[in-house]
Amino acid sequence: MSKTVSAWADRVSNQQVLLKALEATRKLWLGGLGAYSLAARSSVRAVETLLRESKAMPPKACQQIEEKSAELMSTANTAIQRSEQVVRERFLRPLDFVLLATRRDIEQLSLRVIELSAEVHQLATGQAMSAARLAQSDDSPMMTGTA
C-alpha cells in the first residue's frame, strides 16, 4: 500500500505542478492581453496628441522658417556687401591710379577733336579764301592794265 500511496502522491504532485504551470501560463496570457489593450489605448491617445500638435505646427513652422530665412538673408547681404567692399578696395581703387580713360573722358575728347577739326577746317578754308583773294587782287591790276 505504501507503493500505491506514494504513486498517488506522485500523481497528485504532478497534477499540482501541471495546474500551477497552467495557471501561470493563463496569467501570462492575460497579462499579455492587458498590455496589448493598454498599448492600443495609449497609442490612440498618442496619435490624437500627435495630431493636435501637428495642427499647431504650421504656424510655428512658418514662423521658424521666416526667422531662419531673415537670418540667412541678413548673412547673405552682409557677405555681398563685404565682397563689394573687397572688389572696390582691391580692384577699382588701383585702377584709379592707372590712367585709364573712362567713357566720359573719351566722349569729352571726341567733342574736343570735333571742335578742333572744325577750327582747322575754318582756318584752312579761310587761308584758301585769303590766298584766292590775294590771287584775285594780284590778277585784277593786270587785267585792268591790259584792258
- Distance of alpha carbon 61 from alpha carbon 58, whole angstroms: 5
HSE-up of residue 121 (Cα within 13 Å, Cβ side):
6
φ, ψ for residue 74, nearest 5 deg: -65, -45
Tens digits of residue pLDDT in 8-44: 666 667 778 778 888 988 888 888 888 888 888 888 8
What is the identity of the amino acid at 18? L
Handedness of CA 58, 62, 65, 71 (dihedral sign): negative
- Distance of alpha carbon 6 from alpha carbon 124, whole angstroms: 155
Tens digits of residue pLDDT in 56-79: 777 777 788 889 989 999 999 999
Handedness of CA 10, 11, 16, 19 (dihedral sign): positive
pTM of the model: 0.30
